[in-house]
Chains A and B, each alone.
Chain A
Amino acid sequence: MTEHPGRITREDVAHVARLARLRLTDDELDLYTGQLGVILDHAADVASLDLDGVAPTAHAMAVTNVLRSDTPRPGLDRDEVLAAAPEVEQHRFRVPRILGEAP
């Protein structure tokens, strides 16, 4: 596994893992820092191409305006939905106390 200094650091990976609520061991941090560096190197290969005159692509498929009509469709049965919840109160999902505030 080669190191890719400057592309992504171990600290970057630890930061993103924390944001994603992933608990990584030291070994895993090393492993993913290396793997992510390889992926970024690949992206850098694309960036090194001469892309003058090539429009940015938003999606792998060259399609736009995929829309549906504003027509209601039946959803899920509420009892079935709430049966999947760990805890239910007043037909709502009961979740542990939230310390922060919604963004």
Chain B
Amino acid sequence: MDRYQGGGVVTEGWELVIGLEVHCELRTETKLFCGCRNLFGDEPNSNVCPVCLGLPGSLPVLNQRAVELAMAIGTALHCDIRPSTFHRKNYFYPDQAKDYQISQYDEPINVDGWLDLPDGFRVRVERAHLEEDTGKTTHAGASGRIHGADYSLVDYNRSGVPLVEIVSAPDMRTAVQARAYATELRAILIASGASDGKMEEGSMRVDANVSVRRSTDATFGTRCEIKNLNSVRSLGRAIDYEAQRQVALLESGGVVEQQTRHWDEGTGRTETLRSKEEAYDYRYFREPDLVPVVPDAEWKAAVADTLGLMPAQRRARLVELLSGGNGAGGNDGDGDGDGELRVDQIATVVDLGLDDLVVGAVAAGVPATLALARTANEAATDAEAARRLDGSSYVALLTLEASGSLSATQAKVVLGDLLLAGGGDPAMLAKEKGFEAMSADSLVETVGQAVAAEPDAWARYCDGEDKLAQVFVGKVMKATRGQANGKAVVAELQRLRG
């Protein structure tokens, strides 16, 4: 869990106003207007065709899945899903080979929604519209940046990848709120299946509109748009820096110029990219090659039916599991039972979409505290692999740990292997590592055989002669040639005794 706690420290007498624009790439097989594959990380210019290269005579055809994922986002954000149209946004820049981007302008598919932060603060969502992504430019030259570049290289694989741009109202007042919004939105995008939410790969990109005003002002100040925010942490730092910059500027008698600023993670500063000026008159006009998208009630309901639980519901579900007694007295993993820790762990697994692993493990009898701790602390370190992990092998591993067949340290090592392989038999993996591994099933079976073989000792043990447990432990050890864990055997005996 990221413990950054900045934000809200604007100079006395000033208020910070923040709105966020989030672009998210949709998890489709193909691009928005053509059948080229939507894949990150392929060889440059290997997923291109006449449509996404803007070759003359090519025509766009809208991807139904992209529309439905956009509707899913709108549904999750409580938007009004509207009949919508597409426009051409005209500009000359080599990231779009056809010199315009197809986007939704005055009739977006989703309008007037909201997102509730975990603390209950409501942020209004003005719109969430469909558009196509641009190609990727790489600037060659000493700086590696656009300024001072000698030339640029363009890869059009990303050109035409479906995006939804989600625009919040300027409702946030602190960097902490902005961070919470971005985190919650990412969790919603993942939960709805619309996006993988990877900020580091650019599949979720956050731009922040930041302005400051004196606490007594009724109107907003001039805003700056901050780009290049590659993590939620950067978002918080950039907003705090920008707020301080604007306040200092205004207090020294200057004016804030409306401009786009670039966040530099290394220096911790924002730098000007350009001012809003005439050159960015986009001459929007209706895309003549596309017809309106008009979702009817039936289509909207079908999309809504595909939505699973949203993060707020998922958190509530885990809180319920943990308070349901499943974890009481159980193996706590690394946890110390601290309530705040649990809240953080729950937030982490839900943000990363790993809560099904916890729920599945608890349903299979794993103590909730252990399932939560392993998922939040270990599985979360490779969330992508963990989301693909075969749930039954995860349950098997946690069961081995809960029964004492594997120590916590051993279990973590085996989990690392499971994540790499996408699944597997944890008992087998533990054995390969030379760990004392024995499946819970076979432990139960062996203990049962030992009990059946010594009916007198069992009766006396059941009457309270605890030291007779050693008789059964000895028999199990002999039967398993020392593979069994003594503590686990005793635990099983106690379970059988009831």
Report A's interface with B, CB cutoff 8 A: 15-16, 19-21, 58-59, 61, 63-73, 75-76, 78, 81-82, 89-98, 100-103
| Residues on the A chain within 8 Å of B30, using CB | 70-73
| Residues on the B chain within 8 Å of A15, using CB | 278
The contact sample of 6 A-B pairs, CB cut-off 8 A, is A72-B36, A95-B94, A101-B273, A102-B134, A102-B137, A103-B280
Check B154–A95 contact: CB distance below 8 A: yes
Check B62–A98 contact: CB distance below 8 A: no
Report B's interface with A, CB cutoff 8 A: 28-30, 34-37, 43-50, 52-53, 61-67, 83, 85, 89-95, 134, 137-141, 146, 149-156, 260, 273-274, 278-283, 286, 288, 290-294
| Residues on the A chain within 8 Å of B28, using CB | 70
Check A19–B90 contact: CB distance below 8 A: yes
| Residues on the B chain within 8 Å of A98, using CB | 93-94, 137, 139, 146, 149, 152
Measured CB to CB, the closest approach of chain B to A86, in angstroms, equals 11
Check A66–B65 contact: CB distance below 8 A: no
Check A78–B292 contact: CB distance below 8 A: no
Check B293–A72 contact: CB distance below 8 A: no
Measured CB to CB, the closest approach of chain B to A20, in angstroms, equals 8
For the complex, give the distance between the alpha carbons of A73 and B48 in Å.
Answer: 10
| Residues on the B chain within 8 Å of A64, using CB | 83, 291-294
Question: When A and B form their complex, which 8 residue pairs have the shortest distance between CB atoms, in order from nearest?
Answer: A73-B35, A70-B65, A92-B153, A75-B49, A67-B64, A93-B154, A64-B294, A91-B44
| Residues on the A chain within 8 Å of B43, using CB | 78, 91
For the complex, give the distance between the alpha carbons of A72 and B288 in Å.
Answer: 24
Pick from A65, A66, A82, A94 the residue with the most CB of B within 10 Å: A65
| Residues on the A chain within 8 Å of B35, using CB | 68, 71-73, 75
Measured CB to CB, the closest approach of chain A to B396, in angstroms, equals 35
For the complex, give the distance between the alpha carbons of A65 and B291 in Å.
Answer: 7
Main secondary structure of the interface of B (DSSP, over half): loop
Measured CB to CB, the closest approach of chain B to A85, in angstroms, equals 9
**Contacts A71-B29, A71-B35, A72-B36; A58 near B154 (Cβ below 8 A):** no
| Residues on the A chain within 8 Å of B45, using CB | 78, 81-82, 91-93
- Picked from B85, B89, B279, the residue with its CB within 8 Å of the CB of A100 is B279
Measured CB to CB, the closest approach of chain A to B427, in angstroms, equals 40
- Picked from A68, A93, A94, A97, the residue with its CB within 8 Å of the CB of B63 is A68
Measured CB to CB, the closest approach of chain A to B302, in angstroms, equals 13
| Residues on the B chain within 8 Å of A81, using CB | 45, 48, 53
Check A94–B153 contact: CB distance below 8 A: yes
| Residues on the B chain within 8 Å of A90, using CB | 44, 153
| Residues on the A chain within 8 Å of B137, using CB | 95, 98, 102
Pick from A16, A69, A70, A89 the residue with the most CB of B within 10 Å: A70
Measured CB to CB, the closest approach of chain A to B356, in angstroms, equals 24
Measured CB to CB, the closest approach of chain B to A13, in angstroms, equals 13
Measured CB to CB, the closest approach of chain B to A76, in angstroms, equals 5
Given A20-B90, A81-B45: 14 more A-B contacts, CB < 8 Å: A16-B283, A64-B291, A65-B292, A66-B291, A68-B35, A73-B49, A75-B52, A76-B49, A89-B140, A92-B138, A94-B153, A94-B154, A96-B152, A100-B274
Measured CB to CB, the closest approach of chain A to B134, in angstroms, equals 7
Check A63–B291 contact: CB distance below 8 A: yes
Measured CB to CB, the closest approach of chain B to A37, in angstroms, equals 18
Check A96–B151 contact: CB distance below 8 A: yes
**Contacts A64-B292, A75-B36, A76-B50; A92 near B151 (Cβ below 8 A):** no
For the complex, give the distance between the alpha carbons of A82 and B37 in Å.
Answer: 18
For the complex, give the distance between the alpha carbons of A92 and B155 in Å.
Answer: 5
| Residues on the A chain within 8 Å of B280, using CB | 103
Measured CB to CB, the closest approach of chain A to B96, in angstroms, equals 9
Closest residue on chain B to residue A21 by CB atoms = B92
For the complex, give the distance between the alpha carbons of A58 and B291 in Å.
Answer: 7
Measured CB to CB, the closest approach of chain A to B233, in angstroms, equals 24
| Residues on the A chain within 8 Å of B293, using CB | 64-65, 67
Check B36–A93 contact: CB distance below 8 A: no
| Residues on the A chain within 8 Å of B92, using CB | 21
Check A93–B94 contact: CB distance below 8 A: yes
For the complex, give the distance between the alpha carbons of A72 and B61 in Å.
Answer: 13
**Contacts A19-B90, A68-B61, A103-B93; A97 near B36 (Cβ below 8 A):** no
